[in-house]
Amino acid sequence: MKTLIAILAVSVATVVAAEIESIDSEQLGKIARRILSDYGSPADVPVATDVDVEKAAGLKGGEAGLIAMPDKKLSAESLATISDKPVTFGQLWMHKVVPAIGGSAPSAAKLRTVEVGDEHKKVEVYYLTAAKSPAGVVELSLISAGKEPLVKVPLVKTDAAESATPFSVSAQKDGEQSGVLVLSVFGSYKADIPLTKSAQ
């Protein structure tokens, strides 16, 4: 469990300033399985998911870390036919770094927080779905404490080649206490999720 804490204990100033790198796949699998074990099966989840731990993607930077896990039913084919009915994408786990809302951190009451490990480190979980908005724009939603999305960001088709990998993640700094998480979905779609320092 100390390995998990070392990777996922975060301060955003460190996250955005430090070199960001991928988490080793073997280590990533162990961390993801431990997180899911500690999380259990809450009765109040906003979206039913069955995530694929073996296809998780993760980043660390200094003390920072995050893990994105795709739903087992997510497919490249489903991306081309997204309608106004939400498609389940998976889950995103972050610690001490949160999605920015108007440049600020959401209040703790809006976040689904889980205590992980013997040291009870706080990690936030976000359920990912995608659907077309009334304007016809495909949006990725992050749902946390409530039933309604905490954040919505465009999910855009890119010129990149399609990949068999459901999720890949990268991040970049855009301020002293802010950054952007880039979530790529099957290589040819991406969503830019603004991040900021957690208030917790």
Q: What confidence tens digit (pLDDT) does each residue in 81-132 have?
A: 999 999 999 999 998 789 999 889 999 999 998 887 766 778 899 999 999 9
Instruction: Give me the sign of the Cα torsion angle 115, 116, 122, 123.
Output: negative
* Cβ neighbours of 164 (radius 10 Å): 8
Is the pLDDT score of 17 beyond 70?
Answer: no
What confidence tens digit (pLDDT) does each residue in 51-69 have? 999 999 998 776 667 999 9
Distance in angstroms (rounded) separating the CA atoms of residues 66 and 40: 19
Q: Are 116 and 93 in contact (CB under 8 A)?
A: no
* Cβ neighbours of 42 (radius 10 Å): 10
Distance in angstroms (rounded) separating the CA atoms of residues 114 and 193: 21
pTM: 0.86
